[in-house]
Structures are given as C-alpha cells and as structure tokens.
Amino acid sequence: MSFRINSTDPTDQEALRALFTELLGEYGDGAEIRPPFHCDYGSQTTWGARSFANFGLVVLDVARVRVGEDVQMGPRVQLLTATHPLEPGPRRDKWESAEPIVIGDNVWLGGGVIVCPGVTIGDDTVVGAGSVVTKDLPSGVVAVGSPARVVREL
C-alpha cells in the first residue's frame, strides 16, 4: 500500500485520501499526509481530523499510534513504536516488542523529530526540529533537544 501511496500524483488529494483511508485504522476529515510515507502496518495508526504531515513521515506501528486532531508535523518525522532487548542474546535472536505512541491534539512536531516507543505528547505542545522525544511530554510546553527537554510553558 505504501508503494501505491508513494506512486500517486501528490496533487491528487482525492486518490491519496482514499488510499490513506484504506490503509490506516482511522484517517480523519481534512487530514493530509504528503508522500513519501512509510509504515509497518497502517491499521495500527489512527490519524486525527485536520492533522498534517509533511514529506517523509515514517510510522513504525508495531504497537498503536494515535495522532490527535489539528496536529502539524514537519518533514521527515519518525514515530517509532518498535523496541529491542538490550541483552545481546535476545537481540541476536531478533526479539522485538513495541510500546504505543500517543500524540495529543494541536501538537506541532518540527522537521526531523523522532518520537520513541511508549511516549505520550500532551495537547498543545511544540517539539523543536531535530528533537528526540524519549519520555512523555506534558501539555502546553515547548521541548527541544536530544533527548527532548521542556524549555518553557506556553
């Protein structure tokens, strides 16, 4: 399905909407994801109304990914639910697990943001470009850096 999405004329919003509606667990009214787009399953991801992602979104949805309403994402954002053991043996045996990601309403993720497994980002929060979010972020803050840290309240 990602191949079909990424092969569709990016100006054909009607065709893209139909493909994303078929692929994702939910694709809200007025939502837009600009190709290229890559995911593991699609059905594990819900995408809220009027939410937008710029080019190059990667969603490793081994676990559930919930994107709220009115979310804005810059180019090359990564939402990564997959995780692997730290111990060498199980990692060598290719063990994998996953933890869900929740992005609240009216969140802005700048270009290149990486959201790690198990993270929840609260409503109205802004995450600066290039940040790596390794822990939950509360509502109504600005967070930046690697790892992302809160620098001020909104």
Catalytic residues: 84
Round to whole Å and give the CA distance between 12 and 74.
20
For tokens 């497994």, the residue is 117
At 130, give phi and psi (nearest 5°).
80, 0
AA letter at 55: F
Q: Is the dihedral of CA 82, 68, 27, 15 positive or negative?
A: negative
Of 66, 82, 78, whose CA–CA distance to 133 is shortest? 78
Tokens of 63: 């676990």
